[in-house]
Amino acid sequence: MSFPELHISKPGVVFPGALIDNRETIRRVRAQFRGTDKQFAKIEAAIERVFGLCKTQQRYLETDLSGSVGEYAVAAAKECLKANDVSLDEIDLVVFGGIARLYFEPATAMEVAAKLGLQKTHAFDVTAACVGHLEALQAAAGYLQLHPEYRTALVCTSELSREFLSYDIQSVRDLGMKSAGLTVGNAAACVLLRSTPFPGGGIRLLAIDTITMPDHWHLCQVPIKGALFSSSVELMRLGKLIPPWIHERLAVLGMKAADIDHFVFHQPSEIMVRKLLEDTGVDPEKGVYTHSLYGNTASASVGVTYQQLLKERMVRPGDKLILGSAASGLSIVMATGEWTGQPRGGNHV
């Protein structure tokens, strides 16, 4: 069966909160440390080593705890609609794919749709950890095929750190499960999906592929009442499973990894993304890197990195792109496409 005609718009992105640097993060850990300055020196050195390996420098964290996940998703959606010259009355479907949420029901997508001013639409959430935004995109693609009367889907995500991060680190050993949380940052992102091209430029989808290996579900969790913990070392080892799968899925399209011009991947750390591309056999400079600028923005990182691609590079018609993410579970999603419409990049965004 041939892949349907589907196009992804340029993204809309916002960053909730204030920009903080590594020193502020270490200060927050020190504020909760119950030992002496001498004892803390070892923990500080270990944290700095983690930041150095990940190339973590800064990220956005909220200062106003009254803001909602939905409100920031709305802000990203408005940026996306404006960037693509799409009116609100063209939206028939709203899918939210974030991790963070302030309530179990209703769907956050309902809040987004209401605050955008949509009187009648189809709105629901997809929950799939850091691949949530891409899984939401895949779900929207399926609904557009099931409902030909739908014109445009608005696919958004929003991440707020809030109580999900823990600065309670009392030993170097604690970092084994909590260091990933120290690199997390806030962001909200949105793209549009429809069956016709976006004249200002966008991605024509060639395939969306996904695979889940659930045996590893326990390695990274955010409990309902608790903070993020992640077995970072074990998760990094699982990265070896991704390159063969990328080659396999591209081969179905008659393509090779070398044919891809731009890799827009989730950003748990820069070193992980660079190693993934090296292991895939491509030049790491084909990757786009945003971890040092915004930290690990979880499900929003693909949208954030997609926007960064359009800021720093010229993307030309026919250029091949992969939007990809891996998440606790283990789940992997890869959207492969080619750029259509106007060349974009640098001052042309």
Mean pLDDT of 54-58: 96
Residue 335 phi/psi, 5° resolution? -105, 120
Rounded mean pLDDT of 133-137?
98
Q: What is the dihedral of CA 348, 333, 92, 159, to 10 degrees?
A: -80
Distance (Å, whole) CA 348 – CA 234: 41
d(CA 48, CA 58): 13
Beta-carbon contacts of residue 87 (< 8 Å; ≥ 6 apart): 81
Cα 52 to Cα 46, 183, 230, 269, 300, distances in angstroms:
10, 11, 18, 10, 23
Average pLDDT over residues 76-100: 97
Q: Crossing angle of helices 37-54/270-280, nearest 10°?
A: 40
Q: In terms of pLDDT, which residue wins out, 342 or 243? A: 243
Angle between helix 132-146 and 301-312 (nearest 10)? 90
Tens-place pLDDT, residues 298-348: 999 999 999 999 999 999 999 999 999 998 778 999 999 999 987 776 654
Average confidence score pLDDT of the chain: 93
User: CA nearest 265: which of 330, 332, 318, 218?
Assistant: 332
For the chain, give the number of residues: 349
**DSSP summary character for residue 200:** T
| pLDDT band at residue 66 using 50, 70 and 90 as cut-offs | confident
Alpha-carbon span 155 to 333, nearest angstrom: 15
Phi-psi domain of 224 (left: phi exceeds 0; alpha: psi -120 through 50; beta: other): alpha
Distance CA 180, CA 268 (A): 8
CA distance 290 to 284: 14
What structural domains does the chain harbor? 202-340 (3.40.47.10)
Q: What is the pTM of this model?
A: 0.94
Q: What is the pLDDT of residue 149?
A: 96
Place of tokens 């629901």: 124
Backbone torsions φ then ψ of 316, nearest 5 degrees: -110, 155
* pLDDT over 60 (residue 272): yes
Omega within 30 of 0 (cis) for the link into 214? no
Counting Cβ atoms within 10 Å, is residue 321 exposed (0-12), middle (13-18) or buried (19+)?
buried
